[in-house]
């Protein structure tokens, strides 16, 4: 069963565009990983960035993160004020 991650980041408004750029870099690296299905970045307001990832399975997600970290190397210092992350198997999906 597919596995989805939803991460909600709160930032200073001046850092939202930088976080979107960082997410684009992360998404590019994740696309190369086995089991990757999709990666989306949304900015619902001036201080929030929401990132969703869909993977073939939870194991593919963890393996993909490790592979991405090996490829990208050291991540930049955090600029996020707060973060909430949710993950789980997809129960219903309509395309």
Q: Tell me: the pLDDT tens digits for 63-86?
A: 998 888 887 777 778 799 999 999
What CATH number does residue 56 fall under?
Answer: 3.30.70.100
pLDDT digits (tens, 9 = 90+) for 3-46: 999 999 999 999 999 999 999 988 888 999 999 999 999 999 99
Q: Is residue 94 part of a domain?
A: no
Within 10 angstroms of residue 3's Cβ, the number of other Cβ atoms is 20
Note down the domain range covering 83: 3-89
Q: Is residue 24 part of a domain?
A: yes
Report yes or no: 22 and 11 within 8 Å, Cβ to Cβ: no
pTM (whole model) above 0.75: yes
Alpha-carbon distance 65 to 53, whole Å?
11
pLDDT at 61: 95
Q: Is residue 50 over pLDDT 90? A: yes
pLDDT at 6: 97
Sign of the alpha-carbon torsion through 9, 60, 37, 54:
negative
Q: Is residue 22 part of a domain?
A: yes
Burial 37-64, CB ≥16 within 10 A → b, else e = eebebebeeeebbbbebbbeebebbeeb
Domain total of the chain: 1
């Amino acid at each position: 069963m597919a596995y989805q991650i939803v991460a909600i980041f709160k930032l200073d408004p001046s850092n939202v565009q930088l976080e979107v750029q960082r997410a684009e870099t992360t998404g590019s690296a994740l696309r190369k990983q086995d089991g990757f299905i999709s990666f989306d970045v949304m900015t619902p307001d001036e201080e929030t960035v929401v990132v969703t990832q869909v993977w073939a399975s939870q194991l593919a997600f963890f393996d993909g993160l490790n592979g991405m970290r090996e490829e990208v190397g050291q991540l930049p210092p955090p600029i996020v004020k707060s973060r909430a992350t949710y993950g789980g198997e997809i129960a219903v999906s309509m395309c």
